[in-house]
């Protein structure tokens, strides 16, 4: 995943929280999507912005939409995702009314044309380093998806290592974990086993070892140790870019010329040899800390 521009459309008037009243919070739902703006969600995204989000219903709804209006339509709207227990700093809150952040069926049943106002929080996520904000990845989430806490200083520096990852003496540990998701459908902004994008796969995999790495592919290139493309080892990263443009794709090296990656063009997470189109856009390689 590379950086995406936020769609420009007006939002309701709001009251901002001054810096002195910024609040610590943690995610209370299994997964919440971070949006570019409070009005970024579409009617098809209603299940995942409810107070109790239904990710399975959301993904099913996305897959029922024509190309460009389902998963691919998240470009410029969704930024990343947060998982339960992840700390955030709330820097502003807004109330926004409109069907884009509501359940249309509910509005119809209640005999109203628009949903009641929904509270949104502008946050930064310290577990997801990003050049967009030195404090962490920025964006908007439904306020109902957060629980405010007095302080999260003990957890803000990074997640604890997971206890469910397998040990290996053969393969790079990151490859073992990445392969668990082979066949998973691609999801722009995805950062959980429900759906992943290319850089989300990298970030999610290293996070399971308790290691904090940048969220987006371009930042992952900048944050990794440079490696010559012809000297890669299993667990290194391949980075891809079109001429004159920034990095837009990343994959985890299995062996020279082969990688595990979340392929938007293929629609799923795959392990495969680099085709000519990939070789033509392969611009660099990097190495993250070994778990």
> Which entry of 172, 204, 248, 261 is annotated as an active-site residue?
261
Q: What are phi and psi of 141, to 5 degrees?
A: -135, 155
| Residue 71, both tokens | 């998963």
Q: What are phi and psi of 6, to 5 degrees?
A: -80, 135
Identify the sign of the CA torsion 96, 99, 101, 103. Answer: positive
H helix and E strand count, the chain:
8, 15
Q: What does DSSP assign to residue 159?
A: P
| 249 assigned to active site | yes
Of 198, 203, 204, 248, catalytic: 198
Q: What are phi and psi of 242, to 5 degrees?
A: -85, 155
261 has catalytic annotation: yes
**Catalytic pick from 145, 172, 248, 249?**
249
Active site residue 148: no
How many CB atoms lie under 10 A from the CB of residue 104? 13
Active site residues: 198, 249, 261
């Amino acid at each position: 995943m590379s950086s995406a521009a936020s769609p420009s459309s007006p939002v309701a008037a709001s009251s901002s929280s001054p810096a002195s009243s910024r609040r610590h919070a943690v995610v209370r739902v299994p997964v919440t999507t971070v949006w570019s703006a409070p009005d970024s969600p579409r009617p098809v995204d209603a299940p995942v912005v409810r107070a109790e989000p239904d990710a399975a219903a959301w993904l099913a709804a996305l897959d029922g939409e024509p190309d460009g209006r389902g998963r691919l339509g998240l470009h410029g709207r969704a930024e990343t995702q947060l998982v339960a227990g992840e700390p955030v700093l709330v820097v502003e809150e807004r109330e926004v009314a409109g069907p884009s952040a509501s359940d249309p069926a509910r509005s119809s049943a209640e005999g109203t044309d628009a949903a009641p106002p929904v509270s949104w929080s502008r946050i930064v996520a310290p577990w997801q380093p990003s050049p967009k904000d030195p404090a962490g990845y920025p964006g908007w989430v439904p306020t109902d998806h957060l629980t405010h806490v007095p302080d999260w200083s003990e957890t803000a520096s990074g997640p604890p290592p997971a206890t469910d990852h397998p040990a290996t003496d053969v393969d790079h540990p990151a490859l073992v974990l990445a392969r668990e998701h082979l066949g998973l459908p691609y999801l722009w902004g995805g950062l959980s086993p429900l759906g992943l994008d290319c850089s989300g796969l990298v970030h999610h995999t290293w996070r399971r070892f308790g290691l904090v790495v940048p969220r987006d592919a371009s930042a992952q290139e900048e944050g990794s140790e440079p490696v010559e493309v012809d000297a890669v080892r299993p667990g290194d990263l391949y980075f891809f870019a079109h001429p004159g443009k920034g990095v837009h794709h990343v994959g985890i090296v299995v062996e020279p010329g082969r990688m595990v990656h979340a392929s938007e063009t293929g629609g799923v997470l795959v392990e495969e040899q680099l085709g000519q189109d990939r070789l033509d856009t392969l611009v660099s390689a990097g190495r993250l800390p070994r778990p």
